[in-house]
Structures are given as C-alpha cells and as structure tokens.
Amino acid sequence: MGMTMTQKILADHAGLEKVQAGDLIEASLDKVLGNDVTTPPAIKVFEGMDPVDVFDKDKIIMVPDHFTPNKDINSATLTKCMRCFAREHNITNYFELGQKGMGIEHVIIPDNGLIFPGDTIIGADSHTCTYGALGAFATGVGSTDLACAMVSGSTWFKVPSAIKVILTGKPGEYVTGKDIILHLIGLIGVDGALYKSLEFTGDGVRELSMDQRLTISNMAIECGGKNGIFPVDDITLAYISKTNPDRFSRGEYKVYKPDSDAEYDREITIELDKVPLTVALPHLPSNTKPASEVTDMKIDQVVIGSCTNGREEDIRLAAKLFEGKKVADGIRCIVIPGSQRVYRKALDEGWLRIFDDAGCVISTPTCGPCLGGHMGILAEGERCVSTTNRNFVGRMGHVKSEVILSGVPVAVASAVKGRVATPFEI
C-alpha cells in the first residue's frame, strides 16, 4: 500500500523510504515550540540533562502567550524563566510582548513565515496541529519531549493511520472553517480520530482561505487527531510567498501528495453547502447543534479571538458585522486580536473603533480566557459564547459556568442579541 501525506513527511524526516501505520520511528525536527506554561518545566528537564547548548537556536520557538501580560507573580516567574533561557541560549525566535511579531503562538508562527510545506514541528501545546494547514506535519507533545528535542533536534513517533475527509462544494453565507470543524467533530466525536491523521482533500478545499484552513487544523486535536493536514495548492503558495518571501524564493519547502493507493481507516464526505452555522454546547466540542436551534439560550459574555479565531480574517469579519451595532445591555464582549500585527491592522483599518463604538472590550493578544487564565474568567452560573476551541467543565472559570463554542458570525450576533443568535438576525 502507498503512503498518506503525513506518512511521507515522517518517512523523509526519519530517513526511510517507507513507513506504515504503527511503525515506531525517530524523525528530525524543523521547529520545536514552547510557551510560558510548558517551557519552564522543559527547561528544568533540559538543565538536568546537563547539555552544552540547544541543538539549533534558529529552530526553537518560544512564545509567552498564555498568562501574558503576566496576571500574577507566578505567571511572571514562569515568563521570566523562559525569557532568561532564551537570552542565555540566543534563541532567535523568542517573541516578547509588544514586538511586531508577537502574539498567540498558533497565530504568529504561520504569519511570521516560520512553517512551510513539508516541515515537521512539535510543540508543547496540543493545538500545534494548526500548522498542518500549510501541508506540514505538526503535533503537540509534553514538556519532557520538548526538553529532549531542544537537545537532540529529533523525537520519536508512532506513525499514525489516517482518516480521509473529503470536502465538496462551497460553504453557505457566514459559514466558516469553525463551523466545518465543529460539524466534523459532531459527526465523529471527541475520540473519533484518536491518534489518527485527519487528511483533508476534495474540491471544497479550494473554497477555503488559509485562515479557514488554519482554524480547521487547529481543532483536529478536539476529535483526538494526532494531526490535521491540508494539501498544498495555489492558496498555500501565495500565503507562504508573503510570510517568508526569502525562503519561498529559495524553494526551501516540499509538497507532499498522498499515493493513489494510500490506506485510510475511514473516509468521510462533508458537503460544505449543507454545513449549518454550528455551535458546540457544554461541555464537549462534539455536543454540536445548528445555532438556529438554540437561540433561546441567554448568555453573559462573548469572547472573540484565540488561536482558533483571532486571525486577521476573523477580526475583519467581526468588525464588519459589528459596524453600526451595539453589544446588548448586560453583556460583556471581549475582542482579542491574535497578534500584534493583527492588532495594528485593526487599528489602521478602524476596526478597533468599531469595536469600541459597539461597547466591546479590546485586549492585547493573549490566550487569556480560553484556558481560564485571565481576561474574561466566568463566575458560577455564567454562560459565554466563545470562538475558542474547548468548552470542558471549568475551562473558562467556575466549574458551574458554561462555554458555547461558535464561529465569529454567531459570536457577534450573540453579543448583539444577548443570547445565542445567528448573523441573519442582525
């Protein structure tokens, strides 16, 4: 049998002609990622190994984004630990607050041109799978694996089997990548792709912008996926030609295509024109419903942003829908651009003025409320519509609070109406 896209990438990085599902391999890494929560434990392990230095200062990425700007002494201590390590080892890609390239890790790493097709990257964050949108193999690991990779530049994998997700047609009005991935998770469940590669294909792929693909790949982990990956096409190439024109002009990337006889555990076809505006009700991303069926659910807060929906396209769409409208009385709406670059774009284009006029809170880039860290924690009995990626019990605050996941259009409409709503209502 032939190989999938993921299997071909892993085979090349392991120096093997062929791999198959279940093989244990050691693969070289093009990038290694950590954040302010996961890097300090990795540094402790790293220092216990007593290495001379990191394997390659240009291939390690460190991003303070979860509890930043530091919310308390403990978070400041974690960030200081990572900052000092980055300085000591001359880490090229350390992104400090306020710098032009800073922001939420899974927003800035693609936008800063650090990932290209064919790359292999691990990150001590489960949503590292985001970068599969670029035709790369990307997956999350723990802090110990991060520490070992910072020394060796390689790590071990069990080669995953795959599910082929065939996208056909064109999404309906206001339907976004978030609706598509929630729809898929609703179909297969939170363990429906456990340790499998989600390989997206079909004529519907060309209808999805790069930002939409990044959103879809970002949530592959929410159905248990080892990774999610898209084929490289003209949209991919146009994107990387802008994010890193020098590397692009040198041709330092590789396009992998699955073999015609590649083996898949399952094939799923999603007709994009039949995907509704979708929400995930508490307390699982798989607990999905069409948004139009739950418009009686009142809310207290809306969050627009995160590594799932804080990209330029998301913030632009939110501004377009908010223009001339107001956040409902008694509702808190927090807008979090995913990077300093997106924030500046929103400033220059007048989107921040629209949010301010509407009555929104505008935050510096941060993961903040998504993980229940800060900048929007929920009290007991409160309910939030959020464009983040998880809605587990206690995810955004009190264990008796609730999070409803949605795309940007539903989030904006819900903020305006004070309940779950669709953009057709505003």
Q: How far apart are CA 247 and CA 240, in angstroms?
A: 9
Residues 401, 300 contacting (CB under 8 angstroms): no
Residues 46 and 107 in one domain: yes
Mean pLDDT of 398-409: 97
Which pLDDT band holds residue 160 (cuts at 50, 70, 90)? very high
According to the model, what pLDDT value does residue 296 have?
A: 93
pLDDT at residue 403 is higher than 80? yes
Please state the φ and ψ torsions of residue 255, each to the nearest 5 degrees. -95, 120
Please check whether residues 234 and 297 belong to one and the same domain: no
What tens digit of pLDDT does each residue of 244-264 get? 999 999 999 999 999 999 999
Q: Are residues 298 and 358 in the same domain?
A: yes
The percent of residues in the chain predicted with pLDDT above 90, rounded, is 97
Domain count, the chain: 2
Confidence at residue 315, expressed as pLDDT on a 0 to 100 scale = 98
Q: Domain boundary residue among 244, 270, 296? A: 270
Domain that holds residue 319: 279-425
Q: Are residues 260 and 292 in the same domain?
A: no
Whether 346 and 304 map to the same domain: the answer is: yes
| Claim to verify: residue 11 and residue 129 sit in the same structural domain | yes
How does residue 51 score in pLDDT terms, banded at 50, 70 and 90? confident
In terms of domains, do 98 and 230 share one? yes
**Residue 383 in this model has a pLDDT that exceeds 90:** yes
The pLDDT of 27-44, averaged and rounded, is 96
Long-range contacts of 186-190 (CB under 8 A, 24+ apart): 186/278, 186/280, 186/286, 186/287, 186/288, 187/268, 187/270, 188/163, 188/223, 188/268, 188/286, 189/223, 189/286, 190/222, 190/223, 190/224, 190/284, 190/285, 190/286
Do residue 57 and residue 181 come from a single domain? yes
For residue 387, what pLDDT band results from cuts at 50, 70 and 90? very high
At 50, is the pLDDT very low, low, confident or very high (cuts 50, 70, 90)?
A: confident
The fraction of the chain above a pLDDT of 70, given in percent, is 100
> Which residues make Cβ contacts (< 8 Å) with residue 270, sequence separation at least 6?
165, 166, 167, 168, 180, 183, 184, 187, 204
Domain with residue 320: its CATH number is: 3.30.499.10
Q: What is the pLDDT of residue 98?
A: 86
- Determine the Cα angle at 167 with ends 166 and 171, to 5°: 165
Task: Examine the domain organization and report whether 50 and 94 are in the same domain.
Answer: yes
- pLDDT band per the 50, 70, 90 thresholds, residue 35: very high
- pLDDT tens-digit map of 325-372: 999 999 999 999 999 999 999 999 999 999 999 999 999 999 999 999
Select from 270, 289, 317 the last residue of a domain.
Answer: 270
pLDDT at residue 100 in the model? 86
User: From the centroid of its chain, how far is CA 391?
Assistant: 15
Please, what sign has the CA dihedral across residues 344, 363, 421, 408? positive
Mean pLDDT of the chain: 96
Do 253 and 312 have their domain in common?
no
So what's the pLDDT on residue 362? 97
For residues 315 and 194, state if they share a domain: no
| pLDDT-based confidence at residue 187 (cuts at 50, 70, 90) | very high
Together in a domain, 48 and 145: yes
Q: Which of 6-15, 21-30, 44-53, 106-115 has the lowest mean pLDDT?
A: 44-53
Of the candidates 180, 260, 261, 275, which has an alpha carbon nearest to the alpha carbon of residue 228? Answer: 180
Pairing of strands 154-158, 24-28: antiparallel
Can you tell me whether residue 367 is helix, strand or coil? coil
- Tokens representing 243 are 């994010």
The residue-averaged pLDDT of 403-419 equals 98
pLDDT in tens, 90-148: 999 999 988 889 999 999 999 999 999 999 999 999 999 999 999 999 999 999 999 99
The predicted model scores a pTM of 0.95
Q: Which residues contact 353 (CB under 8 A, 6 or more apart)?
A: none
Residue ending a domain, among 224, 244, 270, is 270
Whether the predicted pLDDT of 1 surpasses 90 = no
